[in-house]
Structure 1
Amino acid sequence: MKKTSMINEFDMPEPRWIRTYPSGPYRFINREFFIITYETEPKLLEAILPDGLELLEPVVKFEFIRMPDSTGFGDYTESGQVIPVRYKGEEGTFTISMFLDCHAPIAGGREIWGFPKKLAKPKLFVEEDVLLGILNYGSVRIATATMGYKHHELDQQLVLNTMKKPVFLLKNIPGVDGTPEINQLTRTYLQDITVKGAWTGPGSLELHPHALAPIADFAIKKIVSAVHFVTDLTLPYGEVVEDYLQGNFHGKKKN
């Protein structure tokens, strides 16, 4: 095989004959979201923001997501926390934690975009008249979310508008000598989004401390909303908007 063709096929960190995930973009069918938004202490969120991002409001969106049909990644569930941010006047979200039950999207998410993914045991399902999301880290329960199942329809256009906003991530990868090799702020836009249904209702969320999954550090002050929706969408490759190691940071520095 010619060297040029090997380079073209070498789109993974592993040798091309031992791939963890295929090339993108990645299509998701019937991707189901359950999101509890809650207020927390603003200083806690501001302290973890990379340079260039501004906090829009002191809230955390705690997500449970079922992905029964995804390109290359298969059938899996994830849970995590995102916060609303602004970058150079553009509103979006910044993902601060993610917990999944499948290796391929963990590896792909961390290596390509910089999603902060770890292995855990999230579940999203309907139990009688309640939508239930649970997250275990090993055998320890660290999150439980509930919502009245489809009590009220939600404006699908509002959901679509929110999903069109960019996803910002801090991508950190060390070099073989242990020093930082990649330290970037990345941005990705979901594409080809279809909202198939959206609902809201009464919701609750309980978080528990864990040494290696400190989601409870962002304590719940007040539940703001609970939403549930189903979509089809495409996750494409993203772009680097800030490269901190190269010294070409163009955003607003934090005080």
Structure 2
Amino acid sequence: MSSPSASADIVRAPQHLAIVMDGNGRWAERRHRPRSFGHREGQKALRATLEYCLRRGIKALTLFAFSSENWRRPEEEVGALMQLFLKALDREVDELHGHGVRIEFIGDLSAFSPELQARMHKAMEKTRANTALLANVAVNYGGRWDIANAARLAAEAVARGEIEAASINENLLARWLALSGQPPVDLFIRTGGELRISNFLLWQLAYAELVFIDTLWPDVDAAVLDDCLNEFTRRERRFGQTSAQVVAGSGQGVA
């Protein structure tokens, strides 16, 4: 991974970028290769994206690596993904740590093998103090699961007498969601041409700008990401206000 350097040609970069990395399988099939080959090539795009975020000063990156629905894929493909994941943890964590990247895994980790869980927790613990970039990796994650899990944790807190049920509001419930305490997601990118968010960060994308591109994930590079950030720069983010209010700089709304 190359050393990050400042760049000023993007007018406004997001603080928190979320990406659905779609298209690995189709990329491989178009080249008459197995889908697992596409997943391996997708790692190069992931590495380029991490470098890009460091260079642009983006503070948080959340990647949809493996959804709770992905278990339905062919057993051979799921097995290949798990092996790829293990190898990536062994190969990449030290380098990411050296560049100040903090790694967090979000999702129901209990579904993975004890070996994989141990390596994920080791990576999180090793990089916990890093501040250059927070890289959230969503594995066995679903937005509905996230909200239901937060509701369950809130109910348990009520049962223990720690909070009153009547006190639960959006801000309180958000404490138990994945990405709690992190900057709000500003920009969502989905590669691969599909026009949906696929149960990803249903709560956290409430005010994010959504960008959908046809580029398949293994073909994503700095130029593609520049195009997405330029599109983000062109968007007017109103947060419930009128355009006139935004121009006048009268403060940020919340509705």
Structure with the bigger RCO (C-alpha within 8 Å, sep 6+) is: 2
Which structure shows the higher strand fraction?
A: 1
Which structure shows the higher helix fraction?
A: 2
**TM-score by structure 1 length?**
0.24
**TM-score by structure 2 length?**
0.24
